[in-house]
Structure 1
């Protein structure tokens, strides 16, 4: 009788443990804005904004991010143009080398620019991270949220920037790159806030002027030959923060006329689900390469703004009949989701 009881208990415990391993709930961490991951040799290398340094996490399962190995990659030297307000880092593998792109300033937001570090080691937790310098286009203006991608064997960068020297509007720009740390030529404007849902920024204080129109956090996305840029719109300090979509129609990728904007946001907050201001996302595939997932940050309550209450979350996305991404609705925090497929 004891053996039967032990067997039953073992089976129940094993079933529960198996279930815990195969499902998860959001958020992945208590805090972490601007989440980004890179999949390499069976591991996800994850990062998010910390503000004063660059951190990297390593895990086989992003759903188990809270137990991931982590390492301090880089701390900026004090008193430099890139020593403060380090935002939206992204780790990329280009030509067999690791690069991390990030925005930073000297403590004055007007001086925000993009920078890049290089590591020639195959293991980003090893080797040495060296500053390659500022990544700037012409004209050299305020710039954040750089994302790099390869199109027809050429490297490009997209980012959010100001037209001039004042904080009145954030646009999406694109430029070709000579190499991973040098932009080739002028920047090209491909999107600016035009719809009402991109112009919500009514918090009035010195750091966030009223009515700031925002397009930021651009992310390249390709599926079945279709190319998109998903971006964040409106002020992150509002509950209106949401994701918009640009579609590449073909032709010259540096031609503004080659891009069209979806008239409505493609991913917004859900009061019913208790998820507010979802934004600054990235994308990743499941370990078996069969599923597409969105990684994003959001708040659990209204009015929590751009602070440290933003937490990383993820959910599977699908594709519409016309080839556009269907990001769905942010899932509630108590909803159990299956982990990304492994086989």
Structure 2
């Protein structure tokens, strides 16, 4: 029998001018949303009991950038997580400089909130999330598997040509990793990952069908931006790079027929009745004046996705603007 109450329409874009979107449904029944704001100067969090209610939910500022120093510019891609009974926000921040040299000088940082409702209470800075190198690093995400919490992030290895690769490491606390065990799990190697910039970034994790899936985004943030995927058996050593298999082709990308350009930097959530939803940003036009990073119109979008006979996620095509069924 069809669950009629589950069938509802939602409008895309879901939330305008919010890039790098992260939606997390907590055990309290609320959806929590955070993303990059066009000014790159603060971190906002909002919540709603429904996905459709997120656009009207009042944003609360959790943190603002500093006037000078390392956390004073380009606040990118916050994610809100719940671990060990507290809330955590992972984000990237750079320093204010007079040239673009600081654009790729990001490091990762962590905020903590002990309140049951993260829109209340105090967000405390836990400091920089340090890795093996003191280099460009961003897009931290976290997941738990078999009693171990892992961090996945993007970083520049000083010895590897390119902008960023994806790494994984076990966490020793919600704001620290075991640096000695970090491992690279994908680097830009295919042509579609190397347009404009050599980038693997924006990881998001799915656990299903005996596998751990990690989607990521590649290339410049214009219409060439697209999503790839890697996966490993859930019984494998996730810190062993050979455990991971990589798709040779993108799994989600620009769809000119549907008017969607540069979809990427995704996250995953579920509908109120448990169906899988991909959350991502995209523009509805191709040509951009100036640096794409300063074009504010990467809008948050959502759509259902399914699974194929091989047990792999099938994201389909980015749906056009307007009503979509969830």
- The TM-score normalised by the length of structure 2 is 0.90
**Is 2:139 aligned against 1:145?**
yes
User: 1:313 matched to which residue of 2?
Assistant: 301
Q: How does 1:1-343 map to 2 (within 5 A)?
A: 22-40=8-26, 41-50=28-37, 51-107=40-96, 108-164=102-158, 168-186=162-180, 187-201=182-196, 212-236=197-221, 238-249=222-233, 250-289=235-274, 291-304=275-288, 305-306=292-293, 307-334=295-322, 336-339=323-326
> Relative contact order, CA 8 A, sep 6+: which one is greater?
2
Residues 283-326 of structure 1 deviation map (CA, whole Å, 9 limit, x = unaligned)? 0011222x000000000000233321110000001011111100
Counterpart-to-counterpart distance in 2, 1:61 and 1:163 = 40
Residues 176-220 of structure 1 deviation map (CA, whole Å, 9 limit, x = unaligned)? 11000111123311100111111111xxxxxxxxxx211110111
Alpha-carbon shift at residue 338 of structure 1 (Å): 2.1
Counterpart-to-counterpart distance in 1, 2:313 and 2:54 = 25
Equivalent residue of 1:230, what SS?
A: strand
Equivalent residue of 1:301, what SS?
A: coil
Answer with 1 or 2: which has the greater Rg: 1
User: 1:12 matched to which residue of 2?
Assistant: none
Cα gap change, 1:69 to 1:165, in 2 (>3 Å): farther
- The TM-score normalised by the length of structure 1 is 0.86
Alpha-carbon shift at residue 165 of structure 1 (Å): 8.1
User: 1:206 matched to which residue of 2?
Assistant: none
**Runs of 5+ in structure 1 lacking a partner?**
1-17, 202-211
Counterpart-to-counterpart distance in 2, 1:165 and 1:192 = 12
Counterpart-to-counterpart distance in 2, 1:266 and 1:278 = 11
User: 1:4 matched to which residue of 2?
Assistant: none
Q: Give the conservation status (yes or no) of the 8 Å contact 1:110–1:165.
A: no
Alpha-carbon shift at residue 22 of structure 1 (Å): 2.8
Counterpart-to-counterpart distance in 2, 1:267 and 1:191 = 17
Alpha-carbon shift at residue 337 of structure 1 (Å): 1.8
**Runs of 5+ in structure 2 lacking a partner?**
97-101
CA RMSD, 1 decimal: 1.8
Alpha-carbon shift at residue 166 of structure 1 (Å): 9.1
